[in-house]
Structure 1
Amino acid sequence: MTTPLSLRSDAEHLASALPPLLAEAEHLAATVLLGDHGRRRAGTGDTFWQYRPAQVTDEARSIDWRRSARSDTNFVQDKEWQIAQSILLWVDQAAAMSFTSNQNLSSKGHRARTVALATAILLIRGGERVGLTGLRLPPKRGEQQLVQMAAVLAENTDQDYGTPESQGMLPHSRALFISDFLGDLQPTHDALHKAADRGVRGALLQILDPQEEAFPFDGRTIFQSMTGAMQHETLKAGDLKARYLDRLAQRKDELQTLARVTGWQFQTHHTNAAANTALMWIYGALERHA
């Protein structure tokens, strides 16, 4: 039986391996989160943001006559947007994400989890509601939500490749999908089109090991999936390099096109790059849909 204590233990176990990234997330939170919510854009709220010249669409009652009296132009006060939004995360926890080509590098899954959790920290502390796709962890605020999210993200599945879960995405919410996207892409197409139909916009982050980009293999090589369910042996691995790299490029192009037509953002991140580069890209991509 799962208890709050075990959830806390799971979350602390996960977090114990991530102090650099969590420290970076705290630093980012201090620099990118402004005020109680941190979106610094015009909208419905009580907190003053900036003066701007009045437009013909502005009502007369919105004009700040005291400020306008000091110039030849009428000004209105923009208020900061203070309506919390819901952001749903899907993190691929399939076996393929456990791959790493070097013991000094994070696995794809480890990087995906840490970046997702850091994103959740930034968003929740910025006043948003964050959860996981599906119905297991609906979007909420608060530190306890982060604890529960960490516990869920610590789990693994026995599938070779993950498929995005599109259930539970609220109309006009935002979403983040993190995966290597090396399996069948049809479920990803289906999930993003369903999301677009509900007005959901978001970001796709593809995480790859540098070896998956370079394909440094030659001679006799046995390629095996992480579960061992798929295997291919060749005596001339070097002859496969050009075709492999071409197919990888085609896959990235397909993901980029899919993101564009559904109103999402797409980026590839490598595990030998700093984790905070992915975190900053995600935060910026989600803010563009705020």
Structure 2
Amino acid sequence: MASPADLRTRAQSAAAALPALVLSAERLAAMIAPGAHGLRRGGAGEDFWQYRPAGQGDTARSIDWRRSARSDQQFVRDREAQTAQAVQIWVSAGRGMDFAGSGSGPRDERPTKRERAQVLGLALAMLLLRGGEKVALAGSPPRAGRVQGDRIAEALALQPLVEDDDDIPPAQSLRPNQRVILLGDFLGDVDPLTDYIAQAAAMGVRGAALQVLDPDEEVFPFAGAVLFQSATGRMRHDTRDAGGLRDAYLSRLAERRALLTDTARAAGWHFGTHDTATPPASALMWLYRMLEG
């Protein structure tokens, strides 16, 4: 259990980081046009969804006579159901998420994977809340409203790192028919993650997993003598020919991504990738769209 002094230090650090996190997320969310997420089915709503041929049970009042006049068939104008979704967002707190490559110069300094994932998670939450959805970080009950956005921002800023290099989302927080967004590097043991997605699918939970990596983890630019070790120091590998490991590393990364893509597809989920050297707007748009499909 953390001491009062440790908690005070964490709170002070979070208070310092919170404004920057919120500002970055607000700027990012502003790049995406907010709107309500329809569930893509006919029902009570305000927005047009589709025309369909009139059938048994459709009354004369429900016929769209203007559209029907252009053909020999009668059509009904369906509207789209707009029921608020309940969305859980999980941001990995594994110690490996604190990694950031150095780049080639001062202007190339990149955010850590954790910083980027937190900004993406908070920006997505802001967009969804503005659209009337219920949102929460995994493990908390989804709620609607602006105050919920403040709660999520504070929780992300206060989020402590776990003791391990990686972690997994809490399966006990899954609820039937919710949506889930997972943000992490997914470089650790893959079995808990694939088990989580399978369990979620069995409960009717759909979602998306976005792998957030540093560019150094994408291209493996290392050469010569290098000591590789995990954030906790529990895994170490000392080599005199790092360049000779590049092909094997990239092959393993491709295999991992192929496995997660297949796992997601089989569960009705989506899997995507993002590196911290690229603008986050495209990743946010991808996440936003994945919740609609």
Structure-1-length-normalised TM-score: 0.86
What SS does structure 1 have at the residue aligned with 2:30?
A: helix
Select between 149-158 and 168-177 the one with higher mean Cα deviation: 149-158
Gaps of 5+ in 2: 5-9, 103-107
2:248 pairs with 234, 243, 250, which one? 243
- The aligned amino acid for 2:94 is A
Name the CA distance, whole Å, in 2 between partners of 1:14 and 1:130.
19
* Alignment map for 1:182-197 (pairs within 5 Å): 182-197=187-202
Give the Cα–Cα distance (whole angstroms) in 2 for the partners of residues 256 and 167 of structure 1.
23
Q: Partners in 2 of 1:129 and 1:202 — Cα distance?
A: 15
Equivalent residues of 1:112, 1:207 under 8 A apart: yes
Change (3 A) 1:58 1:231: farther
Q: Who is 1:166 aligned against? A: 171
How far apart, CA to CA, are the structure 2 residues paired with 1:266 and 1:17? 25
Residues paired across the two proteins, number: 276
Alignment partner of 1:252 is 2:251: no
The CA deviation at 1:252 is: 0.7
Does residue 25 (structure 1) correspond to residue 24 (structure 2)? The answer is: no
- Look up the match of 1:47: 46
Q: Tell whether 2:185 aligns with 1:180.
A: yes
The Cα of 1:70 is off from its aligned counterpart by 4.7
Aligned to 1:95: 95
Compute the displacement of 1:232 (Å). 1.6
Q: Which segment drifts farther, 222-231 or 40-49?
A: 40-49
- 1:217 maps to 2:222: yes
User: 1:32-55 CA deviation, whole Å, 9 max, x = no partner?
Assistant: 41xxx2438443224252662434
Q: Where do 4+ consecutive residues of structure 1 move more than 6 Å? A: none
Deviation at 1:213, TM superposition (A): 1.2
Q: Give the AA of the match of 1:78.
A: D
Residue 126 of structure 2 is aligned to residue 121 of structure 1: yes
**Quick one: distance in 2 between partners of 1:255 and 1:112?**
18
Tell me the SS of whatever aligns to 2:286: helix
Runs of at least 5 residues in structure 1 that lack an aligned partner in the other structure: none
Per-residue CA deviation, residues 93-134 of structure 1 (Å, 9 max, x unaligned), is 111001000271111000001001111111111111111222
What's the CA shift string for 1:68-94, capped at 9, x where partnerless?
675554232322322111111111011
Letter in 2 for 1:83: T
Greater mean alpha carbon deviation, residues 50-59 or residues 234-243: 50-59
Contact 1:43–1:79 (Cα < 8 Å) also in 2: yes
Do the aligned partners of residues 186 and 62 (structure 1) sit closer, same or farther apart at CA in structure 2, a change above 3 Å counting? farther
How large is the Cα RMSD of the aligned pairs?
2.5
> What corresponds to 1:233 in structure 2?
238
